[in-house]
Amino acid sequence: MAKGKITIEDVAREAGVSITTVSRYLNQDYGAMRAETRQRIQAVIEQLGYQPNKFAQGLKRNRSRTVAVVVVNMGYPFCVGVIRSLSDALHHAGYSLLVAETGGDKNREAHILQNLRAQSVDGLVIQTNGENQSLLTELAAAIPVVLIDRQFDMPGVVNIVTNNAEASEQLTRHLFAAGYTRVLYVTETLRQVSTRIDRLRGYEAACVAAHRTPWVVWMDKANPDSLRGVVDEILSARAQQPLAVYTANGLIMLELYPRLRSLPLSVPDELGIATFDQPDWAQVATPPLTCVRQPTEQIGQSAAETLLKLLRKKSDTRSLREKRVVLPSQLIPGGSTERNVVSGA
């Protein structure tokens, strides 16, 4: 293993102790730590050539009463709702909020996380693609870290997510129950993003329950050819109408919606339109858009409450950090799938 890739996880594993214990050693917070344990950790550090993360050490020692929130897209309604709720809750507790955006780029995310050491943040809330797990694990050994929206199994973090698979299945069942013969599911490449994986899983489960063959198209929002490919799929299946199009998130729907409305198919009788997420324009569309509303206010509140409990040390840190919080989303039926003739699926 190259020196540059040695992490606090590697040290903890080789020394046979927890990441928290290694972090305490690095911060000279020995407490009741036995001399033998300290000697073993030091020996492993020297053997592996581990370079302590000064970022994490600095955060451990100083309190700035500032929390950082890092999201993929600050203009996305989901992120806006979470940030606003998180800011309100932390403000009442006397904390300020530092906001950053990654654009979904792992290098940009890593750069932002490294630069946070200048801010001496007390806690971190992040919507991550999971490609900087070693860095996030080191941070979680020093400060409270809460992952929102996307779930990853990392030591020392709390995951706050919604019931993506269940809500996706519910929306798909709703479309079949409205009488749509086929439901086209449009999604981005899954990578390792849990929301994408779970929403596809829910869609497929509803197809199985309705004895329908899944119909999935993979889309790249930045590629016009990809958008045209979705339209071509719909046109090729016109004879099987009524059809429905269900997008995995509101950003896909934003790109696709004008093209769907330009098709020679009437909405909702011949073509249904639905999306996961509730875009801010969903209710002013004609007809209003069927969607899944995620509990952004509750996500922000839950993230704030988790951070504050850890910062105030009112809860057992280890048990709380292993916690996964799942909040329910809500199906919002709209005129875009309200057909005049309804049949069971």
Q: Are residues 220 and 308 in the same domain?
A: no
Q: Is residue 53 in some structural domain? A: no
pLDDT value of position 292: 98
Q: Are residues 208 and 101 in the same domain?
A: no
The number of residues making up the chain comes to 345
Q: Is residue 55 in some structural domain? A: no
Q: Is residue 343 in some structural domain? A: no
Predicted confidence band of residue 343 (pLDDT cuts 50, 70, 90): very low
Domain at 26, CATH number:
1.10.260.40
Q: Are residues 137 and 180 in the same domain?
A: no
Q: Is residue 240 in some structural domain? A: yes
Give the count of domains, the chain.
3
Q: Are 109 and 103 in contact (CB under 8 A)?
A: no
pLDDT value of position 59: 55
Q: Are residues 101 and 216 in the same domain?
A: no
Q: Is residue 130 in some structural domain? A: yes
Q: Is residue 112 in some structural domain? A: yes
Tokens of 134: 């070693």
Q: Are residues 175 and 289 in the same domain?
A: yes
Q: Is residue 345 in some structural domain? A: no
Q: Are residues 130 and 116 in the same domain?
A: yes
Q: Is residue 54 in some structural domain? A: no
- Distances in Å between the Cα of 292 and the Cα atoms of 70, 242, 250, 287, 301 are 23, 21, 10, 16, 20
Across the beta sheet with 215-218, the strand order is: 215-218, 182-187, 243-247, 271-276, 290-293, 330-332
- Distances in Å between the Cα of 305 and the Cα atoms of 142, 294, 300 are 18, 19, 9
Q: Are residues 202 and 319 in the same domain?
A: no
Predicted confidence band of residue 55 (pLDDT cuts 50, 70, 90): low
> Omega of the bond prior to 52 within 30 degrees of 0, cis?
no
Highest mean pLDDT among 61-70, 309-318, 328-337: 328-337
Which strand (E) or helix (H) includes residue 239? Answer: none
pLDDT value of position 290: 98
Compute CA 8 distance to the chain's CA centroid, rounded to the nearest angstrom. 25
**Considering only CA atoms, which of 148, 150, 94, 146 is closest in space to residue 320?**
146
Predicted confidence band of residue 2 (pLDDT cuts 50, 70, 90): very low
Q: Are residues 216 and 109 in the same domain?
A: no
Determine the 3-state secondary structure of 51 from DSSP.
coil
Q: Are residues 305 and 278 in the same domain?
A: no
Which tens digit of pLDDT belongs to each residue from 140-177?
Answer: 888 899 999 999 988 889 999 999 999 999 999 999 99
Q: Are 339 and 269 in contact (CB under 8 A)?
A: yes
Distance CA 331, CA 294 (A): 9
Q: Are residues 262 and 193 in the same domain?
A: yes
Domain at 258, CATH number:
3.40.50.2300
Report DSSP letters for 224-236, one per residue.
HHHHHHHHHHHHH
Mean pLDDT of 71-78: 91
pLDDT at 39 over 50: yes
Range of the domain at 228: 164-294+331-337
